[in-house]
Structure 1
Amino acid sequence: MSFGTLYSYIGNTRTTALLAVAKENNLDIKFIETNPHKGIPDSYLKFNPLGKIPTFVASDGKQDNADILHWMSFGNSEVLVPLSGWFAPLIGRAPYVKSQVAKSRAQTLKAVQVLEDHLLRRTFLVGERVTLADLFVASIIERAFEYVLDRKWREEHPNVTRWFETVHNVPCYAAIAGEAVFIEEAIKVADVKAGNT
């Protein structure tokens, strides 16, 4: 019997962790390709009225864990949105507006500082072993390490760096996400203008 159904699409950053957990636990997950950019069927809206992805529907109904959901929500709302606003213009995927990039950078760094503080005496976000919260938030913050959280930043933020490397090296995550990329010096708008991204 299927453990449940996951609605999303391959390549969605919020889905990587979910697929990694399913792989690690040998869960039979029914995957239904659902991409908001290509249109959402009306039948999907009964599971998620806002039409957002990913959505998981367990075979026996939804189950949750407050701490795991807290960190997943934090990553999704407090890290992902400003992080995209910071690096997307720097790599040419969005218009560059200096004030907006600066605002997004400040919001991202403030949110990541919450993680840094939380991880001071913890290996993982929740409990003593990797959970969906770790996999989910790591998949969100991965692009930051690739583009903007450079060597200097990593040296100044050892807790988030250690945590990310630990989570990224969990076999089920690494099998889906591939090798981690760490930028030496954060990209700047000049790199985009020069075509060096």
Structure 2
Amino acid sequence: MKLHHAHASPFARKVMACAILRGIEGRIEIVVTDPHASPDSLLQDNPLSKIPTLVAQDGRAVFDSRVICEYLDTVGEAPPLFPPTGSMDRLAAQVRHALADGIMDAAVARRMRFGKPMDETRLAFIARQKAAMERGLAALERDAPAGLTDIGEVASACALGYLDFRFPDEPWRAGHPRLADWFAEVSRLPALARTAPPG
């Protein structure tokens, strides 16, 4: 398998964290890719020029991160990260997954506007994304994860790691003590320790 990847992307991190938890990271060739440059190698696999993009064992291109993670859950012998279809556990994991991805979406959108000229429209957009991040964190705090055993927990950890990486001047731990305690514990696990964004 081949993965178009960028070390700063929280979505690419989520995919690799899942691969490590599944015990299949050794089967994946990492191809560091700048999607903003739209290289031909990426466009051949993903016409949207987005990462992460996985080329599966049969040569099929798989994107986006949610779909890749679900595909990886079918590879290897480790316990699944996606609970059984139709179960309430799956629904809970997927809702947390969507919440964490939403925090990452908002954070990445804010980050992409850094250094750009600011007008009223752009300032309003940035404020809206920040508010979404804050509400998302509050929702995660109310129902804080307990381990690193399902896709919702993996995505939540990657979201928090991205906030530390890109928004260190906006500390989130004091207002979210349950999340802070959980994140401190799971950050030591190989799936997160080995995929941390560059310092």
Q: TM-score by structure 1 length? A: 0.62
- CA offset at residue 164 of structure 1? 2.0
Query: When the two structures are superposed, what TM-score results if normalisation uses the length of structure 2?
Result: 0.61
User: Which of these residues, 50, 53, 67, is aligned with residue 51 of structure 2?
Assistant: 53
- Counterpart position of 1:9: 6
**Is residue 2:196 matched to residue 1:172?**
no
2:146 is aligned to 123
Residue deviations 1:127-148 (CA, integer Å, cap 9, x gap): xx43454333322332434525
Output the amino acid matched with 1:110. Answer: R
The amino acid across from 1:144 in the alignment is L
Q: Which residue of 2 aligns with 1:105?
A: 130
Deviation at 1:14, TM superposition (A): 1.7
Structure 2: runs of 5+ lacking an equivalent: 61-70, 74-81
| Alpha-carbon distance in structure 1 between the residues aligned to 2:161 and 2:115 | 17
* Structure 1 residue 109, shift from structure 2 partner: 0.9
Confirm whether residue 44 of structure 1 aligns to residue 45 of structure 2. yes
Aligned-CA RMSD value: 3.4
Distance 1:96 1:131, change over 3 A: farther
**Structure 1 unaligned regions, length at least 5:** 181-197
Q: Is the 8 A contact 1:72 1:137 kept in 2?
A: yes
**Cα 1:58–1:133, aligned 2, differ >3 Å: closer, same or farther?**
farther
Task: Provide the rounded CA distance (Å) in 2 between the counterparts of 1:149 and 1:53.
Answer: 26
Q: How many residues align?
A: 163
Query: Which structure has the greater CA radius of gyration?
Result: 1
Instruction: Calculate percent identity across the aligned residue pairs.
Output: 20
Cα distance in 2, alignment partners of residues 94 and 13 from structure 1: 22
